Structure 1
Amino acid sequence: MAHSTKASAQSALGELDIDMSDADTAFADEWSTWLDTHLPAMHSRLAEADSAATKAALSREWQSLMAAGKWAAITWPSEFGGRNATARQQLLFYLTSADRRVPPLAGRIGLNLCGPTLIAHGTPEQRQRFLSPMLDGRHVWCQGFSEPGAGSDLASLRTRGVIDGDDLLITGQKIWTSGAQQSDWMFALVRTDPDAPKRHGISFVLVPMNADGVDIRPIRQMSGDAGFSGVFLDEVRVPLTNVVGKLNDGWNVTRTTLANERAILFMGQQLALTATLRKSIALAKTPDPHGNRAADDPELRDRIAQAWIDVELVRLNGMRNLAKVLSGNEPGPEGSMSKLFGQHVEQHLHELALDLGGEFGILDRGAADAPDGGKWALGWLRTRASTIGGGTSEIQRNVLAERILGQPRDPWADA
């Protein structure tokens, strides 16, 4: 029988005492050893990449390499190329990945969202067809959920799928589709029974992005980025065999998630906030072109101290939820608390960084005196959307009001 040992891990999440079985130790050692062999070369190649296209190709290549080692989707069952990783092993994997600066995978949206859905609800034929190329990066996926009139109230979606023989003819529009330009497939919610109640009559459909009638239009944001797109669908013909689960039962299909991964997702947010705070402190200590240091301003020092406290609160709340999962319980509403508070902390951190840069803080990329090459002005612009993406602050407040305070649901939610 495997025994349990106590191991400590120092990271941006603080000093963690983790009860590790022999299997956990072997898992962590194998992951670290694999990175020793493969990661340095990929870091070097990414550093030398001189274009976005080259970096995108390397990202797919890295995913293929990780898939070959069964590291691309560790929570998937082993029969589909995963490792059946426990929540504790996910934690160890994430901590090592952050510490070693493991590059992100090109197909992480498919791996984290669509893959588990296919494993839970897909037919054997769908799993055989889609999971392997999703795993190794041959197929990159995007999510077609939000619409111009159906964001927070997703069940109000209006994209329609009309049955035509053995096919669906899909017409409508999806918005804020991350990575659509680089994606091969989209998993989308489509209304296939317009007469059914709001949460019924919706189907989960797999749509090839190169199909006739698919029009991808990148959305240029005020930061200059165009990572999101509008996807227009004009009678796109998709076989009914691409419907996952039962026709008109897509709302229930989409509720399939990996509970343990939800609890651990806070670590990405926490590590990003900690990195931003550390860089802000370094900026405060650096003299501007006039020789002035923000660190000498007592008001700015107070704001840095408050930012540290806020980041620490995000960490502690996330660890509380993680402790539930590691104890075998379901994650609670702490996830919404982390999202709500963390997204506002992210905005405040970038506002602080602009002020730490003084009169030079608002200079954009390319300006000679822009602090850190203009990254803070860019970051401030990007974080204006932090309270919208991935679930608005209003939605998170609703979740907390209903699940903690016992308040009734909004009338529109069941309309």
Structure 2
Amino acid sequence: MRLTYTESERAFRAEAADWLQSALSGEFSDLRGLTNRVSAPKRRLEWEQHLGQARWSVVGWPAKFGGRDATLSERLIFAEEYAAAGGPPRLNHLGVELLGPTILTYGTDAQKSVFLPAISAGEAIWCQGYSEPSAGSDLSAIRTSAQLHGDQWSINGQKVWTSLAQFSDWAFILARTTPKSVGRHGLSFLLVPLDQPGVSIRPIRQITGDAEFNELFLDDARTAADNVLGKVGGGWEVAMSLLGIERGVSTLGQQMTFRNELDAVMAAARRNGTAKDPLIRQRLAQSEIGLRLMRFGALRMLGGASDNQTNAAITYKIQWASWRRSLGELAMDVLGQEAEIAPALPAGEYEMPMLTELFLSSRADTIYGGTNQIQRNLIAERGLGLPREPRGDLKG
């Protein structure tokens, strides 16, 4: 793990910081500091396209697909500078951070040439079709099916908790393509256009008042026979690879967002005097220590050998999720009754203050992307080699 930067890396940081500061102080100043993932979708789409035009959207990708061939250190630097500059949540996070790298690994040359430039340019927004009502943490229990009819797949089923589906053009979907297959066998990773009669999207209103998540219904939805990433029946490998990428470089940018949230909690504590409370001060100090430990842990994970990366990745999710949930609770204790008041908007709507939204949204952190209990199972079984937990009659 190297904690210093070369002269060229410092120059890269300066270039990225200057561009971000200029863009977010000028044409896109209205997006600076935005934290709500469903707000201003049209403007955030324009921001995606602006990033693409300046080749800042996918810096780690090959230049021929819209990237900058950035090194791992440079990718980390850009993620940090983006968060430090107050860049808005990426509308195409799933396409840029998850699907794109997976296509680079598993895609054919034709798939790379079709899908990657559209992602990097902000012309195609993607969502993820994994979870189902009966297959949340147990992803291998999915029931969505796909059958090949001529030159098209026909897909039937339901996905749930589909983030930002209402703004997306495409979905990458895990479906069962081998009839009567069980568990992780017989699954395929399909790339499916959403603008078609066989697709309907129903937003799910959350505790924050927003609808970031959606139900996705597939009723004889179609996609081309060639739109399979990896091998037919080999979707589990592709899906697991994608989830591994989720624990990758973007974690450092995520931590910069956490840094901004912790700073806001500290500022509120100083403003209203709760920082003088010794218990509050102790919890603030614990939050600061936890965040710094996460940073060094993530750097070790990204820079280590493959075995160390795997073990670190399965512990990182439970670490940051539990930390942020505790930070949300601390924010409420700092704010007191102030946290219960939200400015009213027209038509009876309301807008949550940043720290109140932090508390409410962090309730889900220990559930999505692998519940804490599932993560503990992974740590025990994969990391420590303990016996597998009984899983009923399912095989695979």
Q: TM-score range by the shorter chain?
A: 0.7 to 0.9
Instruction: Give yes or no for the alignment of 1:141 onto 2:126.
Output: yes
In structure 2, the residue matched to 1:44 is 29
1:396 Cα deviation after fit: 1.5
Flag the 1:34–1:399 CA change in 2: closer, same or farther, 3 A.
same
Question: Of the candidates 325, 328, 337, which is equivalent to residue 350 of structure 1?
Answer: 328
- Is 2:319 the counterpart of 1:341? yes
- Match of 1:264? 249
Structure 1 residue 229 and structure 2 residue 209: aligned?
Answer: no
Give the partner amino acid of 1:316. F
C-alpha displacement of 1:197? 4.1
Cα displacement (A) at 1:25: 4.5
| Unaligned ranges ≥5, structure 2 | 346-350
Q: Aligned with 1:286: secondary structure?
A: helix
In the TM superposition, residue 279 of structure 1 has moved relative to its aligned partner by 1.5
Matched, 1:407 2:386: yes
1:190 CA displacement: 0.8
SS at match of 1:138: coil
Give 2:151's aligned residue: 166
Summarize the alignment of residues 5-20 of structure 1 with structure 2, pairs less than 5 Å apart.
Answer: 18-20=3-5
Which residue, 176, 197, 211 being the options, matches 2:196?
Answer: 211
Instruction: Give the structure 1 partner of residue 298 of structure 2.
Output: 318
Q: By how many angstroms is 1:61 displaced?
A: 2.2
* Code of the aligned partner of 1:341: Q
Deviation (angstroms), 1:183: 0.3
Moved more, 301-310 or 33-42: 33-42
Structure 2: distance between partners of 1:357 and 1:48: 20
Letter in 1 for 2:334: L
Quote the residue 2:372 is aligned against: 393
Moved more, 80-89 or 259-268: 259-268
CA pair 393-213 structure 1, distance change in 2 beyond 3 A:
same
Opposite residue 301 of structure 1, the aligned amino acid is R
Describe the SS at the equivalent of 1:225.
Answer: coil
1:58 CA drift (Å) = 2.5
Q: Quick check: 1:131 aligned with 2:116?
A: yes
Q: Give the aligned residue type for 2:164.
A: G
Question: Which of the numbers 264, 283, 286 marks the counterpart of 1:303?
Answer: 283
CA distance in 1, matches of 2:38, 2:368: 25
Shift of 1:39: 4.1
Q: Is the 8 A contact 1:59 1:106 kept in 2?
A: yes
Is contact 1:333–1:399 with CA below 8 Å preserved after alignment? no
Residue number in structure 2 paired with 1:11: none
Which of residues 79, 101, 109 in structure 1 aligns to 2:86?
Answer: 101
Aligned partner (choices 223, 230, 236) of residue 245 of structure 1: 230
| Residues 35 and 298 (structure 1), Cα distance of their counterparts in 2 relative to 1, 3 Å cut | closer
Amino acid at match of 2:381: E
Aligned pairs, number: 388
> Which residue identity is paired with 1:400?
I
Q: Is the 8 A contact 1:120 1:256 kept in 2?
A: no
Alpha-carbon contact 2:171-2:194 (below 8 Å) kept: yes
Deviation at 1:360, TM superposition (A): 3.3
In structure 1, the partner of 2:136 is 151
Question: Is the 2:37–2:89 contact (alpha carbons within 8 Å) kept by the matching residues of 1?
Answer: no
Shift of residue 141, structure 1, vs aligned partner? 0.5
Q: Once superposed, what is the RMSD of the aligned Cα atoms?
A: 3.0
Q: Does 1:194 align with 2:194?
A: no
- Alignment-mate amino acid for residue 409 of structure 1: R
Q: Distance in 2 between matches of 1:302 and 1:38?
A: 38
One-letter amino acid of the structure 1 residue matched with residue 171 of structure 2? M
Report the counterpart of residue 161 of structure 2 in structure 1. Answer: 176
Amino acid corresponding to residue 398 of structure 1 in structure 2: N
Q: Which runs of 5+ in 1 are unaligned?
A: 1-15, 288-292
Aligned to 2:348: none
Q: Which residue of 2 aligns with 1:118?
A: 103
After TM superposition, give the deviation of residue 213 of structure 1 in Å. 1.6
8 Å Cα contact 2:38/2:210 also seen in 1: no
User: How many angstroms apart in 1 are the aligned matches of 2:19 and 2:282?
Assistant: 43
- Is contact 2:28-2:47 (8 Å) kept? no
Which of the numbers 48, 55, 66 marks the counterpart of 2:40? 55
Q: Report the Cα offset of residue 216 of structure 1.
A: 0.2
The counterpart of 1:73, out of the listed 12, 34, 58, is: 58
Secondary structure of 1:206's match? Answer: strand
Counterpart contact for 1:116–1:256, Cα < 8 Å? no
Structure with greater proportional strand content:
1
Pairwise CA distance, 1:44: 2.5
Q: CA offset at residue 204 of structure 1?
A: 1.0
Asked if 1:255 is matched to 2:240, the reply is yes
Contact 2:190–2:227 (Cα < 8 Å) also in 1: yes
Whether the 8 Å contact between 2:32 and 2:85 is mirrored in structure 1 is no
Percent identity for Structure 1 against Structure 2:
38
Rounded Cα–Cα distance in structure 2 between residues aligned with 1:366 and 1:258: 39
For 2:154 and 2:23, how far apart are their aligned partners in 1?
45
- Secondary structure in 1 matching 2:220: strand
